[in-house]
Amino acid sequence: MFKGSYTALITPIRGDFVDESAFVKFVNWQIEEGTHGLVPVGTTGESPTLSHEEHVHVVGLCVREARGRIPVIAGTGSNSTAEAIRLGQQVKDAGADALLIVCPYYNKPSQEGLYQHFKAINDAVDLPQFIYNIPGRSAVDMSVETMARLFELRNIFGVKDATADLSRIGLQNQAMGSNFIQFSGEDSTALGFNIHGGLGCISVTANIAPAACAQFQNACLDGDWLLARTIHDRLMPLHHALFIEPNPAPVKYAASLLGLCTPETRLPIVPVSDSVRVEIRKVMVKAKLLSK
């Protein structure tokens, strides 16, 4: 159930509000293009600047439009354990299939603190849960040993790994076995990640190239590494361009070129600069997403 190309969904904004109409159309387009799963309200969905009400509402919209056609993994992380539990319970009520929970940021808990945080959520919310390990944003790196302890719990299913350390996949496979589901959190290393034993990617690029990203992951799952590399090489300039400036401003601008939404973001994220706009258009043409 949990494998392949999962899109880390953008949240369309118009003025001061979530653009519900654009979001609904976007979810349906993703499914039509072959995306394997949807991840609303992660960092790419601007979770830090959505209110709690908006957060749960966006997940509900996503679930209703998906209509069970593909899984929905809702972002519910927080550096407050109580808040993460509350969000998890609310999106469970909204119909989410699973939770994506980032390691607590800013307060930098110990490994025991990380274990107790995730255990508390595991005990309180009966849904499959994925650890989001991204030291570059959270300032804390969950160890393989802590992850192995957590995998003994009922609801911990796997990890979204954004450590950029491909050796971690093998170490985590050795510690937890093949039933521990490993998603890459980085499009640019997704090929190597899957070769080492990963089962997919929670992808930013899939917002604007869902069909190609799904084809890439299908090739990986089928063991067709030549086709996978061909697609990966075609998309690599796009993977790079979408992170020249802070996410999700570049991917929102790219989505606006496809008529999917406005390029608007919420502060402190600002729209991309003119030079980056030029680069994004250029790589989209090269990737055959735009004609000129």
Active site residue ranges: 132, 160
Q: What angle is formed at CA 260 by the lines to CA 239 and CA 159, rounded to 5 degrees?
A: 45
CA 107 to centroid of chain Cα atoms: 23
Q: Residue 193 is encoded by which pair of tokens?
A: 């990640």
Which pairing describes strands 181-184 and 200-203: parallel, antiparallel, or unpaired?
parallel
HEC-encoded secondary structure of 179-194? CCEEEECCHHHHHHHH
Q: What is the largest CA-CA distance in the chain?
A: 53
Rounded CA separation 156/117 (Å)? 12
Q: What are phi and psi of 78, to 5 degrees?
A: -160, 160
Q: What are phi and psi of 174, to 5 degrees?
A: -65, -40
Q: What angle is formed at CA 16 by the lines to CA 57 and CA 38, rounded to 5 degrees?
A: 35
Burial of residue 134 (number of CB atoms within 10 Å: 0-12, 13-18, 19+): buried
Taking the alpha carbons at both ends of the chain, their separation in whole angstroms is 38
Count of H helices and E strands in the chain? 12, 10
